[in-house]
Structure 1
Amino acid sequence: MNIAFIAHDKKKDDIVRFAMAYEKVLESHELFSTGTTGKRIMAETSLKIHRFKSGPLGGDQQVGALIADNKMDLVIFFKDPLTAQPHEPDITALIRLCDVYTIPLATNMATAEILLSGLQRGEFKWREIIKEEKQYDEL
């Protein structure tokens, strides 16, 4: 599965700790991230992550493009609800795309843990069916 990591500045420590805790689960998946978040996770784990630009410089939109092309299966986005973000429209658009394309989205550690627990149990097989249907529709 393709999994994206995004975290606001005040949540980067949390997402790094989360990735460390679930490293064994995550290592068998394709991982993507916005710039600094991915750099921080890779510095503390052995995970290989494809890094996009920083969120405010377009990284959120790069993740969004993968969602729109049905190439992202899960988004873990630790948002900071107490700090105004200058690129809030990009964040809103990313969340909207997850809803439009039925992509599971965790915006906090509690939800992310539930999603990864489901991933461990094989409860995301439906994503493969959706991908196959999308490929068939494009023929």
Structure 2
Amino acid sequence: MNIALIAHDKKKDDLVRFTIAYKQILEPHTLYATGTTGKRIIDETGLTIHRFQSGPLGGDQQIGAMIAENAMDAIIFFRDPLTAQPHEPDVTALIRLCDVYNVPLATNMGSGEILVHALRRGELDWREIVHGRNTET
């Protein structure tokens, strides 16, 4: 499956720890991330990640384009709800696209754990049937 990993600045440490904890579940999948987040995860876990631009420079929109093409299967986006984000309209658009295209979205550690365990159990395999593409990983 194609999975995007995104984190606001104050949540990057949490996402790095999350990917370390769930590396074995995430490793078989194709991972994508926004710029700085992706670099931090690569440096700390050794996971293979396709990096987009950073969020404020268009990375959120690049991931949004994949969602609109039904080329993204899940998003783990650790948001910081207490800090204003300069690219908030892009964040809102990304969340809206997840709702429009029924892409599972985790926005914090708790929902991220639920999503990763569902992934491990094969509970996202419905995407292959609905979208008619191969999601064997």
TM-score (normalizing by structure 2): 0.96
Classify the secondary structure of the residue corresponding to 1:71.
coil
What's the counterpart of residue 51 of structure 2?
51
Matched positions, count: 133
SS in 1 for 2:6: strand
2:84 is aligned with 1:94: no
What are the equivalent positions in structure 2 for 1:99-110 lying under 5 Å apart? 99-110=99-110
Percentage of identical aligned residues: 71
Per-residue CA distance 1:73-126 (angstroms, 9 max, x = gap): 000000000000010000000000000000000000100000110111111110
Q: Distance in 2 between matches of 1:62 and 1:120?
A: 26
- Give, in angstroms, the shift of residue 39 of structure 1: 0.2
Q: Distance in 1 between the 2:50 and 2:115 partners? A: 21
Q: How far off its partner does 1:24 sit?
A: 0.5
User: Where does residue 119 of structure 1 map in the other structure?
Assistant: 119
Report the secondary structure of 2:132's partner residue. Answer: helix
Between Structure 1 and Structure 2, whose CA radius of gyration is higher?
1
SS, match of residue 64 in structure 2: helix
Partner SS, residue 50 of structure 1: strand
Cα distance, 1:46 vs structure 2: 1.8
Residue identity matched to 1:102: N
- Within a 5 Å distance, the mapping from 1:53-92 to structure 2 comes to 53-92=53-92
Q: CA RMSD of the aligned region, Å?
A: 0.8
Structure 2: which amino acid aligns with 1:86? P
Partner of 1:40: 40
Runs of 4+ in 1 over 2 A off after TM superposition: none
**1:8-62: CA deviation from partner (whole Å, max 9, x where unpaired):** 0000000000000000001100000000000000000021000000000000000
Q: Normalization by structure 1: what TM-score?
A: 0.94
Structure 2 residue identity aligned to 1:90: D
Question: What CA distance in whole angstroms lies between the structure 2 residues aligned with 1:115 and 1:10?
Answer: 21
Q: Output the CA distance in 2 between the equivalents of 1:46 and 1:37.
A: 13
